[in-house]
A = this chain, B = another copy of it.
Amino acid sequence: MDARDALRKHVILVTGASGFTGFHACKYFAAQGMGVAALVRDGSIMEPIEGVHYYPCDLLNKERLQELVREIAPDEVLHLGGKNSVPESWSNPLLYMETNIFPTLYLLNALRSFPSTKILVVGSLTAFELTPPFEAPHPYSLSKSLQKAAALSWEKLYGQHVMLAEPSNLIGPGPSTGFCSLLGRHIVATERNQQTNTFQISSRYTRRNFLDVRDAVRAYGMILTQGKSGEMYMVRSAVERTLGDVSELMIGLSKAKVPVTWEEVGETNLSSQRTIESPITIGELEKLGWQASISILSSLLDVLDYYRKEGDSV
């Protein structure tokens, strides 16, 4: 029995499936009744999910990637693979350029033989405009900007069905290295008396658009089903929250006393910073009928529960 037969009828190939979003994506698409071909890092140990077939694959190995695409013959592709740490991109910019640009091109090239396959490349809201004066904020942003330009230009050159999603800050249960996960881990360690240090944050007034990863994955599914080729979809909630406000909310969900310090003032009074409720922006994604459905409190609670269940390994 070949791998395609082992999968169900409508097949989605998910890259970066061993990552934070990848895990939720595999679960979501399998629950939709689709066959999921999940590309994971070599050596990853993955939780078995009914309907998900795992394939170890280094995304920079273009021959292996091409073979897998032929074998899987996917109806849809969700390309999540890549790297997304800003500090790491400063210390190893080449790794970011290679990992974020080349697998995208290798996939698109391999998929030239499957012209009806719909492809969603997951970019980043940090992408900047690649025009003079070319002001990249960091190498990560440059790598995602080049990925975006490459994917959308490729769509025009070869007429494949390529779309781009630009998610904001995704939060939720799982191995994320984002702000809420770091704070969640710190809170749970404090609950267990394993942590006595304060949690340090650069600025309480920094605003971020937090969105639950499960809402994002649902958006990706909707874009793959109904999205227009060549279109860019911003995937974000309607609320911009300050880091101070989110910390206050999250710490309020625990009985532990968690001290927090902010670089700009060095004190723990969290009452003065407030979240901004933007008017709901109707973007291309909202026009398809999508809206964020998981409340911030529910997301934060799930983050805490994820670490609480992790036992002593935190």
A153 — which chain B residues lie within 8 A by C-beta?
Answer: 130, 134-136, 142, 145
Q: Contact partner of A134 among B62, B101, B155, CB < 8 A?
A: B155
Contacts of A289 in B (CB 8 A): none
Q: Could you tell me the distance between the alpha carbons of A62 and B150 in the complex, rounded to whole angstroms? A: 22
Flag if A130 contacts B156 (CB, 8 Å). Answer: no
Cβ–Cβ contact A134 & B149, under 8 A:
yes
Contact residues in B for A130 (Cβ distance below 8 Å): 130-131, 149, 153
Set B93, B109, B138, B149: member contacting A149, Cβ < 8 A: B149
Q: Which B residues are in CB contact (< 8 Å) with A109?
A: 93-94
Determine if A134 and B156 form an interchain contact, defined as CB atoms under 8 angstroms apart: yes
Residues of B within 8 A of A146 (CB): 101, 146, 149-150
| A138 x B157 contact (CB < 8 A) | yes
Contacts of A101 in B (CB 8 A): 101, 146
Tell me the number of copies of this protein: 2
CB-CB contacts below 8 Å: A80-125 with B = 93-94, 97-98, 101-102, 105-106, 109
Cβ distance A158 to chain B, nearest Cβ, rounded Å: 8
**Beta-carbon nearest neighbor of A142 in chain B:** B153
The answer to whether B105 touches A134 (Cβ under 8 A) is no
Residues of B within 8 A of A150 (CB): 97, 142, 146
CB-contact partner of A94 in B106, B155, B230, under 8 A? B106
Residues of chain A at the chain B interface (Cβ within 8 Å): 62, 93-94, 97-98, 101-102, 105-106, 109, 129-136, 138-139, 142, 145-146, 149-150, 152-157, 230, 232
